[in-house]
Every structure is written in C-alpha cells, then in structure tokens.
Amino acid sequence: MKLLKGTLYFLLIMIAAILLASIFAPGTKVISRTISINAPRAVVFAQLADLRKWPKWDAWYPKDLSQVRTFDGGLGDNIQRFSWSSEHENLGNGSIVVKSFVNNVSLDFMLILINNGREYSFDGKFILKERNGQIDVTWTVKSEQRYPIKIINYFLEKWIGPDFSAGLENLKAYVETSTNQELGVTENSIVTIEEHGTVYAFIAQERLAEAGIETFFSNSFEKIYSYLKTNNIKPKGAPVGLFYEWDIENNNVNLAAAIPTTTSIQRPDSIVLLETGDAELYSNHISVVHKGSYETIKEAHTVLQTWLKENSIVHKTPVIEEYIKGPADGIGTSLYITRVSYFFE
C-alpha cells in the first residue's frame, strides 16, 4: 500500500510539475535554418514545391525507408499535401499541406504531427533569396500553442531543428551534384508561374520565329497536359499563350505555352464597344473575344492596343491569348474562339 501511495504521489507531483512548467513555457516558438545553394532559383524552388521530390532530400525519409507516404494534388491545386505513416519512434504520423506560394520566391505550408492520437499543427515557410549569385533558402516553422500544450515549445528545437539542418544540407548536395535530367530540368522545362493572379504550368521560349509559333504551341501543350496528368493536377481552363515581348524588326517573340492550374473568376465592370465588337473591361485588364483563324487574330490586338493608347493606359506583359476553341476541337478555322487580354495597373 505504501508503494502504491508513493507511486501515486510521484505521478501527482510530476503532473503538477508539468502543468507548472507549462505556465512559463513560451506560447510562440520559431525554428529557422538557412543554407546557400549554388543553383538557379527556379531549380531550387521546384524541389521544394513538388512534394513528390521531398524523399530525395528531406531528413525524415532515410530514418525509415519502409514508411508509407501518400500524395494528393500538385502545386496550384486546391489541395497539395503529402502524409506519412511510420513505426519509427521519432517519425510517427503526419502531413505537410501547402497553403500558398509565390513562384520561385516562397512556399507557405502547414506541418501536422500526430502523437498518441493528438494532432499538433505548425505554420511553416520556405523563403528563397538571391545573394552573391547563390540562393539562400530559409526553412522556418512557427509554433503557437495554448496552455498546457505550449509546453511542447520547450522541446521543439531539439525535436525538429536538427532535421531542418540535415534536410537543407541534403537539398544543397542533391541540387548541386545532380544532373538536369535527375532534377527534372530540361531545355524546355515545365515550371509553374503566377501571372496576373493565375497560376500556370508553362513552357517558355525566347526569340521564337513567328512561323514556328503554331508548332511550338502544339508540341508544348501536349507535354504540359501529360505533365499535369502524371502529377494528378487538373487543368482549370483552356490553354493560353503568354506573350512577353514581340520583336517586330526581327519577327520573333518571347512567349510561353501555358495551362492554368488555378481559377481566377472575375466579372467585367463594364462593356466597351470597339471596332470589332464588344470588349469586357475589368479593374485590371480588358478582353475581347476573337472568332476566326489565328491568321486574323491581329485584329483583336490592334483594337485593344488602340483603346489603351486612346485612354493613355500602359499595359503590362504578358499579353494573354486564351484558346477557348481551336484545332483540338476538330472544327474549321472560322469557328475558332480566342480571348485576347491586355492587363494594366
């Protein structure tokens, strides 16, 4: 009986000590690590943003190669996350859920850890900054907990700090020593980019001769759709052409073939009557629908450029051509439908 009472008293003292310690524990704890990587910003970002590439460098995967990882969605989808389940005492179960991102600049996520049926969530962020020709990658997790759970903030640095350091070291070694093919980087690499509030998967091409535009689009759209299907990403609209610069003198263009992976829904503020028909005027762009072959699409550009000039408005690149109906629909060129949009401040 004395032994039982002693054990009970000991447990009560321990619980009281934990509750007392929780009172003084910090409500907020930030864990942050930074490393410099000698590689292009887009290449580094691609390894972070594609959760399926994390096993190549994160510090958790080597601890238990038999762990189960599942993936949902892709960058720009409504949900992108990976979850893991492990019998390893230092891994357990958890998830990484992407919340938002700025292409090649930052990635916000939520880290969820599950222990004994209890779920703990932490806000996380990757930030990429260029410095002296290299990319500084900062990996940060912020824990904001209430009493008495905030006691875990005492131990967070020890729990995940070393893994952050090891993960960034692995990332640096992987990116700096791998070939472009291993990294998934090719001359016409498919990358994600945000333009005018919409995220696209796209293939860019500089100084492309005008005569090669149609072939470039045809080949590129096929590759992008294949990429989206492979990565379980659903297109959120018709294929588009992003036109960044047109060199009239040399008759070539800097452009990209792109497929939207997020939806940007806006309603026009008003309708503007132009020479070729009605145009939709929004707070940040003006659009006109062109019906007919691509050979006559310059008419749409001309009327929009004229309207911008008459109203002393300077447009921003890229100019967007959205191919609503075209060759893939098996229709004649007279039935093609293309929306042309010029954006401005």
**pLDDT, one tens digit for every residue, the chain (345 residues):** 444 444 444 444 444 444 444 454 455 778 889 999 998 887 888 889 888 889 999 988 888 888 999 988 776 667 788 999 988 877 788 899 998 888 778 999 998 888 777 788 889 999 999 888 789 999 998 876 655 566 566 567 777 778 889 999 999 999 998 866 567 655 457 777 778 888 888 888 878 888 889 888 988 898 888 888 877 788 999 999 999 888 888 888 988 899 998 877 778 899 999 888 899 999 999 999 999 999 999 999 999 999 999 999 999 999 999 999 998 888 999 999 999 999 998
Q: Do 276 and 300 meet the contact criterion of CB atoms below 8 Å apart?
A: yes
Predicted pLDDT at 154: 58
Domain boundaries of the chain, sorted by first residue: 23-181, 191-344
Task: Return the pLDDT at 6.
Answer: 43
Token pair, residue 129, equals 């900054």
Rounded distance, CA 307 to CA 295, Å? 21
pLDDT at 16: 42
Strand order in the sheet with 28-37: 28-37, 134-144, 118-131, 106-115, 93-102, 81-85, 68-72
Query: Which helix (H) or strand (E) element contains residue 15?
Result: helix 2-24
> Which of 91, 55, 54 is closest to 75 using CA atoms?
54
pLDDT in tens, 214-237: 888 988 898 888 888 877 788 999
Q: Which H or E run contains 28?
A: strand 28-37
Bridge partners (DSSP) of residue 204 are: 256
Residues across the chain: 345
For the domain bounded by 23-181, which CATH number is listed?
A: 3.30.530.20
**Distance between CA atoms of 292 and 97, rounded to whole angstroms?**
44
| Peptide bond just before 148 cis, omega within 30 deg | yes
Q: Which CATH number fits domain 191-344: 3.20.80.10, 3.90.400.10, 1.20.1250.20, 3.20.20.70?
A: 3.20.80.10
d(CA 343, CA 345): 7
For residues 114 and 139, give the distance between their C-alpha atoms in angstroms, rounded to a whole number.
21
Distance (Å, rounded) from C-alpha 159 to C-alpha 155? 6
Report the candidate in 104, 76, 77 with the shortest Cα–Cα distance to residue 204. Answer: 104
| Contact yes or no for 287/279 (Cβ under 8 A) | yes
Does residue 241 contact residue 224 with C-beta atoms inside 8 Å? no
Q: What is the pLDDT of residue 285?
A: 95
What are the backbone angles phi and psi of residue 247, rounded to the nearest 5°?
-90, 95
Helix (H, G, I), strand (E, B) or coil at 134: strand
Q: Which two three-digit tokens encode residue 52?
A: 């399926």
Grouping H, G, I as helix, E, B as strand and the rest as coil, residue 206 is strand
Contact 218, 294 (CB under 8 A): no
Q: Rounded to an integer, what distance in angstroms lies between the CA atom of residue 196 and that of residue 320?
A: 10
**pLDDT number for residue 223:** 85
Number of neighbouring beta carbons within 10 Å of residue 98:
22
